């Protein structure tokens, strides 16, 4: 039985994941394929349980950043098509083909090199076009034409898809994304034979843009119930349910006398006699040092993180004496107060994508389905 022995844990509500997917499906043209983006440990939520819940809820593909993530999913029994969104080595083309893993290709030379490593299994590739993200993709039409010509002559290479990625789909001003959309259509006209799968949108594009020219979307952040950015929160066509919450418990509660110190560097001095609790979570869990000064919920009361955050622990100032073992909500709702990943991100001057991904494997994940905890994943046992 997978259990854990430290009172800090993440709870992932799989019903929320499934709800969010159904909310998206309701917005899309019939038969649009939903690719569940589960890269980076499913944005910190846990590869395996999220992938399973997403596929059960109607996502038909999985998408990851790197080949190792796809191989990991295959090793754990996932048979759905998987697209690697990032670069793979040409030498690994045979390995990917053998596992039905789709690779992203952005140069004809890559295909020529990869061809040497194909023997029996067909490699399915999605040609990525850089229409303005400036990250990965063909940047000129001749290169794309060259790649298509080479691949279409080869029975072991199947051009299954073409895609692009928006840099600003989560911004109110549509200008740049519209330009990317137009440039993508121009590149698509280069194909002698248009690939069967054409996709462009991430979560923001999927909810806010017209995807009728395409037949798949790559659904990441909003599958986890997070609005891509605050700037377009008011434009979102369907409500979402955040899937992740995180809790810990007070392992020690003590009264500090005025003038006494807390944590490394003794940088915090009690301004008066104060009740202090120690929490078993620190920066090695992704609860980074910048979290100093952030307020968590001790029971239903706001409590500030005081003194330096340690590798495995941190301290909070309580409004009054509380019982050791009391639950502290780090992300989640308590009565009529709540702490969101957005709040953590804002405190750290970042975005919730990063705050979620930083939650390390050391934090056990509990998975709730139909209201009950159905699985506990502790990577240490
Ligand atoms: C190519 C590609 N498609 C789809 C997605 C999903 O986007 P969403 O989570 O906004 O729905 C991403 C996310 N990539 C990143 C998200 O944050 N940083 C990234 O590089 C991506 O890189």
Comparing C-alpha atoms, which of 96, 36, 100, 90 is closest to residue 67? Answer: 96
Q: Return the ligand 1 atom nearest residue 353 CA.
A: 17
Q: Return the ligand 1 atom nearest residue 203 CA.
A: 11
CA distance 25 to 12: 21
Does the C-beta of 228 come closer than 6 Å to ligand 1? yes
Give one word for 43, left, alpha or beta, with left for phi > 0 and alpha for psi -120 to 50: left
Over residues 247-265, the mean pLDDT reads 98
Has residue 10 got a pLDDT over 80? Answer: yes
Average pLDDT value over all residues in the chain = 98
Does the C-beta of 57 come closer than 6 Å to ligand 1? no
Has residue 381 got a pLDDT over 90? Answer: no
- 57-75: per-residue pLDDT in tens? 999 999 999 999 999 999 9
pLDDT at 90: 98
Over residues 196-224, the mean pLDDT reads 98
The helix/strand/coil state of 252 is strand
How wide is the angle at C-alpha 208 spanned by C-alphas 231 and 197, nearest 5°?
135
Q: What's this model's pTM, rounded to 2 decimal places?
A: 0.98
Annotated catalytic residue within 39, 128, 249, 369: 39
DSSP codes of every residue in 162-203: EE---SSTTSS--HHHHHHHHHHHHHHTT-SS--SEEE---H
- 140-149: per-residue pLDDT in tens? 999 999 999 9
Annotated catalytic residue within 29, 194, 264, 374: 264
At 175, give phi and psi (nearest 5°).
-50, -55
Give the Å distance between the CA of 353 and the centre of ligand 1.
9
Which residue has 């909070």 as its token pair? 316
pLDDT bin (cut points 50, 70, 90) of residue 1 is: low
Mutate to test the pocket of ligand 1, among 218, 224, 231, 357 (most ligand atoms within 8 A of CB): 218
Does the C-beta of 270 come closer than 6 Å to ligand 1? no
Which residue has 């690719």 as its token pair? 35
Nearest CA residue ID for atom 7, ligand 1? 202
CA 153 to chain centre: 37
Say if CB 282 and CB 316 are below 8 A apart: no
Identify whether 39 is a catalytic site residue: yes
- 81-132: per-residue pLDDT in tens? 999 999 999 999 999 999 999 999 999 999 999 999 999 999 999 999 999 9
Give the Å distance between the CA of 237 and the centre of ligand 1.
20
Give how far Cα 301 sits from Cα of 20, 86, 229, 318, Å: 30, 43, 28, 8
Share of the chain above pLDDT 90, in %: 99
pLDDT at 295: 98
Mutate to test the pocket of ligand 1, among 20, 37, 165, 184 (most ligand atoms within 8 A of CB): 37
Over residues 329-347, the mean pLDDT reads 97
Q: Return the ligand 1 atom nearest residue 351 CA.
A: 17
Mutate to test the pocket of ligand 1, among 220, 236, 243, 353 (most ligand atoms within 8 A of CB): 220
């Amino acid at each position: 039985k997978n259990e854990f022995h430290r009172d800090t844990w993440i709870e992932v509500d799989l019903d929320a994941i499934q709800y969010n997917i159904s909310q998206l499906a309701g917005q899309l043209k019939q038969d649009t394929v939903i690719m569940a983006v589960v890269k980076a440990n499913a944005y910190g939520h846990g590869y395996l349980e999220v992938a399973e819940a997403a596929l059960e809820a109607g996502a038909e593909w999985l998408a990851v950043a790197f080949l190792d993530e796809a191989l990991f999913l295959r090793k754990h029994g996932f048979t759905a098509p998987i697209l690697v969104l990032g670069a793979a080595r040409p030498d690994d083309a045979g390995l990917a083909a053998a596992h039905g893993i789709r690779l992203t290709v952005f140069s004809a030379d890559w295909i020529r090199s990869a061809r040497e490593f194909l023997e029996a299994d067909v490699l399915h590739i999605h040609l990525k076009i850089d229409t303005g993200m400036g990250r990965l993709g063909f940047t000129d039409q001749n290169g794309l034409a060259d790649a298509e010509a080479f691949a279409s002559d080869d029975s072991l290479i199947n051009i299954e898809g073409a895609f692009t990625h928006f840099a600003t789909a989560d911004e109110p001003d549509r200008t740049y994304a519209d330009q990317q959309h137009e440039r993508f259509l121009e590149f698509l006209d280069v194909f002698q034979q248009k690939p069967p799968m054409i996709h462009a949108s991430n979560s923001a594009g999927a909810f806010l843009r017209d995807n009728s020219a395409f037949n798949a979307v790559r659904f990441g952040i909003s599958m986890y119930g997070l609005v891509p950015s605050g700037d377009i929160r008011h434009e979102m066509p369907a409500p979402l349910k955040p899937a992740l919450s995180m809790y810990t418990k007070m392992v020690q509660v003590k009264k500090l006398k005025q003038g006494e110190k807390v944590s490394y560097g003794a940088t915090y001095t009690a301004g008066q006699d104060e009740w202090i609790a120690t929490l078993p979570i620190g920066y090695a869990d992704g609860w980074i040092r910048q979290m100093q000064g952030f307020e968590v919920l001790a029971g239903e009361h706001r409590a500030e993180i005081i003194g330096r955050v340690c590798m495995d622990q941190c301290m909070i100032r309580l409004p009054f004496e509380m019982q050791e073992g009391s639950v502290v909500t780090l992300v989640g709702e308590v009565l009529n107060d709540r702490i969101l990943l957005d709040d953590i991100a804002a405190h750290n001057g970042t975005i919730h994508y990063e705050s979620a991904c930083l939650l390390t494997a050391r934090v056990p994940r509990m998975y709730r389905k139909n209201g009950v905890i159905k699985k506990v994943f502790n990577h240490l046992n």
